[in-house]
Structure 1
Amino acid sequence: MTPPSIVVTGASGGIGRALATQLGRAGWRVVAVGREADRLSDVPALARVVADVTTPEGAAAALAGAQAALGEAPAHLAHCVGSTLIAPLHRTKAEAYRELMRVNLDSAVFTLQAWLTARAGGPGAAVFVSSVVARTGVASHEAIAAAKGGVEALVRSAAATYAPQGVRVNAVAPGLTETPMTAKMLSVPAQREAAAKQYPLGGVQSADEVAAVMAFLLGPAGARLTGQVLPVDGGFTSVRPLVR
């Protein structure tokens, strides 16, 4: 039996790298996509494709590269591209907002579009990365909440459209996660401790923990799940922590 195939975008980031590593160890044929060749060079994968998936042309190039490496269109997609912006809306400049939407929402739309086109009506599974801030109000996160809220809406609508073809589309919504993007904030002990106390299960989760849930959604154990957004957040969006 041919091992499952997947294209992982944002593969040089914390969650994307963790997922590519986990799936590779499980025997999947992984094509890693990122914007910078040097950051992508040590990601464990069958092939690595340098592309900017925030444009239709870049997303199409990423899927074309994956298809060339695999000899077929990848049956699975994990879209892990993302950035963040922590600022109240009245201090958010238009340029920063547009860049945030480009990286988070445009990339999701164009990558899913390119993958579906490459699949040409065949079955498959895709998983995206949202955020807890799209699911509950968190101060000074208006722009990123809007972007990730768009990703969640995209997931639900695409799941409805393509279910008859056997395509499943889901997402995870992580809480604060230890990645290169959060390293600066978490390097300050007081900030790390304060952030960890917001989560009922305590602590700061790892990229591996988020990636494991994404792998579940992509694999046969998640075969009856589509249009879902699973919070991977230590209880942040559903219960209040007991602060001592």
Structure 2
Amino acid sequence: MKQTILISGAGQGIGAEIAKTFYDHGYYVGLFDLNIQAVDTLAQQLGSRAYSGYLDVSDYASWQTALEQFMTWAGQLNILINNAGILYSGCFESINIEAHQRTMAVNCMGVLNGCHAALPYLKQSNFARVINLSSASAIYGQADLASYSASKFAVRGLTEALDIEWSKYNIRVLDVMPLFVQTAMVKDMDAGSIQNIGVDLTPRDVAIEVLKLAQKEQTTFQATHTPVGLKTKILYQLSSVSPQLINRLSNLWLSRRNKS
């Protein structure tokens, strides 16, 4: 049976790896990104079941155009992956306000726009699912990643709300929550937490978890959030059982900067 997927931010990193993984499993894959050259190249490399297009996730009209193009090509939308995201790191006050605002526009409004614009098409499918890229930064607010962390908390909240609200349409809305992943986004990142925790996950690790969520038979008891990687799972579990003070102190320790 034909299955389709649309991925935002598919030009590199996690988005590109998700595209490759789903293509290898027989999906018709829509690759959308601000970097049209990157997704065009990837689509050509993948083959005839791949389609590429331009998408500025912060612009609702851009979403509408991208979805119309995708539907004309694919005929249906089964899986929406809200992957596009940006990150600025460093002391909150040292990052200019435009960068903070851009973070919220892409990471938060981008997901909200995508979910809202895609719903009419998802409702038309016999099987539909939304999988959002959240982050371990949505477990507890992260120092030196303040606006990024806040944007991922918004993604987490929206995911939880829509997973309940859209159950009436038989659409599950889920997210994955990886820790730091080996992509260009974390290169030269200015945060104590990355020094202390390290970067162990690869885009492939995340893509495999996304594939599992897309293919798994979902029940009422299936968790909305999926922490990716052992360290993230430990942090996620500890945050749910530890007193708030302990959570604060542990994150204070994680954020400390190594002296050189």
TM-score of the aligned structures, taking structure 1 as reference length: 0.85
CA distance in 2 between partners of 1:155 and 1:39 (Å): 28
CA distance in 2 between partners of 1:226 and 1:49 (Å): 33
Change in 2 beyond 3 A, CA 1:140/1:156: same
Task: Tell me if 1:22 matches 2:21.
Answer: yes
CA contact (8 A) 2:55 2:63 kept: yes
Q: 1:184: Cα distance to partner?
A: 4.1
Name 1:143's counterpart in structure 2: 147
**Structure showing the higher helix proportion among its residues:** 2
Which one of the candidate residues 172, 175, 178 is aligned to 1:174? 178
Amino acid at match of 2:118: W
CA contact (8 A) 2:122 2:129 kept: no
CA distance in 2 between partners of 1:144 and 1:208 (Å): 22
Which one of the candidate residues 76, 89, 95 is aligned to 2:98? 95
Q: 1:121: Cα distance to partner?
A: 5.3
Instruction: Output the aligned Cα RMSD.
Output: 2.4
Structure 2 residue matching 1:171: 3-state secondary structure: strand
Per-residue Cα deviation, 1:39-67 (whole angstroms, up to 9, x for no partner)? 11222352111121211101111111110
CA contact (8 A) 1:134 1:145 kept: yes
Greater mean alpha carbon deviation, residues 35-44 or residues 2-11: 35-44
CA distance in 1 between partners of 2:106 and 2:57 (Å): 8
Change in 2 beyond 3 A, CA 1:174/1:51: same
Greater mean alpha carbon deviation, residues 49-58 or residues 176-185: 176-185
Amino acid at match of 2:3: P
- The within-5 A match list for 1:96-135 is 96-120=99-123, 122=125, 123-135=127-139
Task: Tell me if 1:209 matches 2:205.
Answer: yes
CA distance in 2 between partners of 1:174 and 1:180 (Å): 15
Amino acid at match of 1:231: P
Any gaps of 5 or more consecutive residues in structure 1? none
CA distance in 2 between partners of 1:183 and 1:30 (Å): 28
CA contact (8 A) 2:141 2:150 kept: no
CA distance in 1 between partners of 2:53 and 2:19 (Å): 13
Structure 1 residue matching 2:197: 3-state secondary structure: coil
Q: 1:13: Cα distance to partner?
A: 2.4
CA distance in 1 between partners of 2:61 and 2:223 (Å): 26
Per-residue Cα deviation, 1:152-176 (whole angstroms, up to 9, x for no partner)? 1111111111111110100011101
- The within-5 A match list for 1:1-244 is 2-43=1-42, 44=46, 46-70=50-74, 72-120=75-123, 122=125, 123-185=127-189, 195=194, 198=197, 204-219=200-215, 221-224=216-219, 228-236=224-232, 237=235, 238=237
Greater mean alpha carbon deviation, residues 59-68 or residues 92-101: 92-101
How many residues were matched structurally?
A: 229
Q: 1:90: Cα distance to partner?
A: 2.9
